[in-house]
Amino acid sequence: MQQTPSQAHNQGKANGHAKFDLDIKAIRARARQDIESGAVTGTYRADRETVLRLLNEALATELVCVLRYKRHFFMARGLNAEPVAAEFAEHAAEEQSHADRLAERIVQLGGEPDFSPNGLQQRSHAEYVEGKTLQDMIRENLIAERIAIDSYRQMVEYVADQDPTTRRLLEEILAAEEEHADDLSDFLEKE
């Protein structure tokens, strides 16, 4: 049986919850202001310029990781190379997906995703290391994933509850990076 609004309100008070009403008139009025800002409304609490900088750094990191994984996919040689190369290809595709999602969020926040190859390495948190052997490649990718994990954790902490959408995006990417690190760590143990 569905409750009426007053029953729900009384139930909320009985459970110790404070009354919560949305000021729809105020929300509607704010929505009509500064509409060229798109998804960024007047209630956005984060420092948008800092968030955009962090997202562009994360974008650069993901792009460098795509390039490194792609090279390693093509250069993987040796007795155990086939499953490792397949993992490199899978990770490259997932890193590209992360880059795309970051670029989309940058645009939603009124910024411009920086795909320029000029300075890509300097904007990236991870490094582009080619590696000579399959073991080197696995190790370098694991190091890069660990760098990404720490970077994303710090970004999540910085954004906190000021920008829940960006936080969720960063948390989802962080979870994928942790999975990548675990996959690569398994390969190191097999060697």
Per-residue pLDDT of the chain (191 residues; tens, 9 = 90+): 444 444 444 455 556 678 888 877 777 777 777 666 666 767 678 888 999 999 999 999 999 999 999 999 999 998 889 999 999 999 999 999 999 999 999 999 999 999 999 999 999 999 999 999 999 999 999 999 999 999 999 999 999 999 999 999 999 999 999 999 999 999 887 65
Q: What is the pTM of this model?
A: 0.81
Dihedral in degrees, nearest 10, Cα atoms 131, 134, 139, 141: 70
62 is in an annotated binding site: yes
Cβ contact 30:41 at 8 Å: yes
Looking at the chain, how many residues does it have? Answer: 191
Nearest to 176 by CA among 111, 99, 91: 91
Cβ contact 131:72 at 8 Å: yes
What is the homologous superfamily of the domain 46-190 according to CATH?
Ferritin, core subunit, four-helix bundle (1.20.1260.10)
72 is in an annotated binding site: no
129/99 Cα distance (integer angstroms): 19
179 is in an annotated binding site: no
145 is in an annotated binding site: yes
Exposure b/e, 75-103, CB count within 10 A at least 16 = b: bbeeeeeeebbebbbebbebbbebbebbb
17 is in an annotated binding site: no
